[in-house]
Amino acid sequence: MSELSPQQRIRCMSALIATLAVVSIASSLTWPILSESLRNQGYSESMIGINAAVQFGGIIVVALAAPRIIPAIGFFKTLVLGLVIVAIMLIALPTFRSFEAWMLIRFLLGMGNSLLFTAGDTWMNQIVNDRVRGRWMGIYVTVGMAGWAVGPVLGAYLDPDTFWPFVCGLVAVAVAAVLLLPTRRLDFRFGTPKQGVVVGLAAVFFVAPTVLLSSAMFGIVEGAMQSFAHLYTMDILGAQFRETGYAVIWVGALAAVFFQYPIGWLADKVNRNWLLIVCVLTLLVSIFLFPLLIEGGRDPWWEARALALWAVVSIWGGSMGGIFTVGITLLGQRFRGVELVSANAVFSVLFGAGGLLGPFFAGTAMSAIGPAGFPLSLLAAVALYALFALYRQFTVR
């Protein structure tokens, strides 16, 4: 933005990156904790999947309204509103522990998360220079993935049936609020869009369907992985391998930390559309290999089977993060201003739709055919998107 000096840009981007990190800690801590708590209460995988899917419903609702909300109140107030909603829901989750109450609370939690990520992603993309966009978005996603890696590490040592996981989440939200303060004087507003919200969202979707649908596929895999990867691991290896189950989540997230800057650097050097496809195909192969190597989780990490398992989990996490990094980089390349808000809103809507379907399909598949339903449902989703992306790349100019 021409209104910001280079120093102000750096200050604003640094605050947004730091805020994303701690918000990601809160999100990645609660997701597997809630799934495990519901299993401890005796609910099936399909019911756990439905409960998790509702949270993505909240993401969809807010994302649809984002093209009106963000121009009306600005980026800073949108982020503050999101933090307030998330904090209230983190207090409500351990207070009201019934299945039905959690569905409502998680819907509202999804709304808060959607405000945070839609506004943060858009603000970051708006102020960064296109020449180094991939690298900055790589840093942005790297720090976010670091937050996603910390949550499951904490969760592995916290009792899901106590208040402590949610207290840790509240501390993270409080830290995020403090880190966000330097941006309050750097905020700006767009003019409100003249066309209807639905028309505007549809218009940007048809400009870049391959990029935007990558978010839906990402949401399916992310939602299913956060909700069921640890449960799948315990089903295969035994309940005594609970910490190994959480390690599957955090190793993938930790690996993503180290992949994103190199992928962002590549996005500034090579064709970004082809780089997106390479990330998708890499994800497909890693999901295929995961169940073939899961028995390695029984072995010490330095033995060959275990090293092979953790290598594949790392590639899984890195390629997933790469899909997100390249996707939002392409959005910033193609859209500006109000259109960028709409594009990020569509990105969030489709992420929410994918996240809503992912836990539902994975949970239903696991209930119907056993643990194998987890990797099979993800393989189907990624393969379908890969075929679409390759078809578009070869046929559309």
Helix 45-95, helix 6-40: angle, nearest 10: 110
Tell me the pLDDT of the chain averaged across its residues: 84
Question: In terms of Cα–Cα distance, which of 293, 313, 314 is closest to 304?
Answer: 293
The DSSP result for 188-233, as a single string, is: --PPPPSS-HHHHHHHHHHHSHHHHHHHHHHHHHHHHHHHHHHHHH
Residue 390 has pLDDT above 80, yes or no: yes
> In the chain, where are the structural domains located?
6-395
Q: Which tens digit of pLDDT belongs to each residue from 146-176?
A: 777 777 777 778 888 888 888 988 988 888 8
Q: How far is CA 10 from CA 1, 62, 261, 278, 365, in A?
A: 12, 28, 17, 31, 46
Name the DSSP letter for residue 279: H
Residue 195 has pLDDT above 60, yes or no: no
pTM of the shown model: 0.75
CATH number of 6-395: 1.20.1250.20
Residue 155 φ/ψ region, left for φ over 0, alpha for ψ in the -120 to 50 degree band, beta for the rest: alpha
Question: In terms of Cα–Cα distance, which of 204, 332, 216 is closest to 272?
Answer: 332
Neighbours of 394 (CB within 10 A): 8
Query: Which range scores top for mean pLDDT: 65-69, 142-146, 265-269, 280-284?
Result: 280-284
Cα separation, 350 vs 323, whole angstroms: 14
- pLDDT value, residue 397: 61
- pLDDT value, residue 6: 75
Are 67 and 341 spatial neighbours (Cβ–Cβ below 8 Å)?
A: yes
Averaged pLDDT for residues 245-249: 81
Cα separation, 284 vs 293, whole angstroms: 15
Averaged pLDDT for residues 109-125: 86
